[in-house]
Amino acid sequence: MCGPIPVASPNASSGNASALHLAGEMFKLMTGTEMVHVPYRGAGPAVQDLIAGQVQLIFDSVPSSAAAVRAGLLRPLAVTTAHRVAAYPELPTIAESGLPGFDIATWYAIWGPPRLPAPIARRLQGAVAEAVARPEVRERLATLGAEPVADTPEAFAAFCAREYERWGRLVREARVTLD
């Protein structure tokens, strides 16, 4: 990080209980930093208010802030993931910056109905795995700060169970509410 954060700094997010909000809450819990959460209706308005100086920081996704960073309107401090991202290889992780164990990555998934037949789920997973194995797809996703994973449906279900537990614990500890 680049110096101390003032007490009660306004911390923007894309909304209550969003991944961006939870990243800020995890940072607060791990560091004891006092920040005032300022929820917005999406990352776009939050980033605009950060640029305008209405708030002092945001935990945001790489694609959402990339244009403002390229234009010199925002200065990235660190990435929240366990490893550096290809889009900003020079940017340290928060863990590298002095907060070991900080690791937050947003993820996207393809979901199906609860009773989706296993052969169809496997066929979809195979198509996704084939697509993300293509060098041009991997390169494009890397420019967005994304690292594609094409796990089996069973591995993904186990990952989701771990994520639900981890985020549920954070929501309880930080007393996150939707209002």
Burial class (CB in 10 A: 0-12, 13-18, 19+), 55: buried
Confidence of residue 137 (pLDDT cuts 50, 70, 90): very high
Residue (of 49, 76, 52) closest to 63 by Cα position: 76
Mean pLDDT score of the chain: 89
11-49 pLDDT, tens digit each: 888 888 898 999 999 999 999 998 999 999 999 999 999
Note if the pTM is more than 0.75: yes
Helices (H) then strands (E): counts for the chain? 6, 3
**Residue 8 confidence class, pLDDT cut points 50, 70, 90:** low
Sheet strand arrangement including 57-58: 35-39, 9-13, 57-58
How far CA 54 is from CA of 14, 48, 170, in Å, comes to 15, 9, 27
d(CA 144, CA 141) in angstroms, rounded, equals: 5
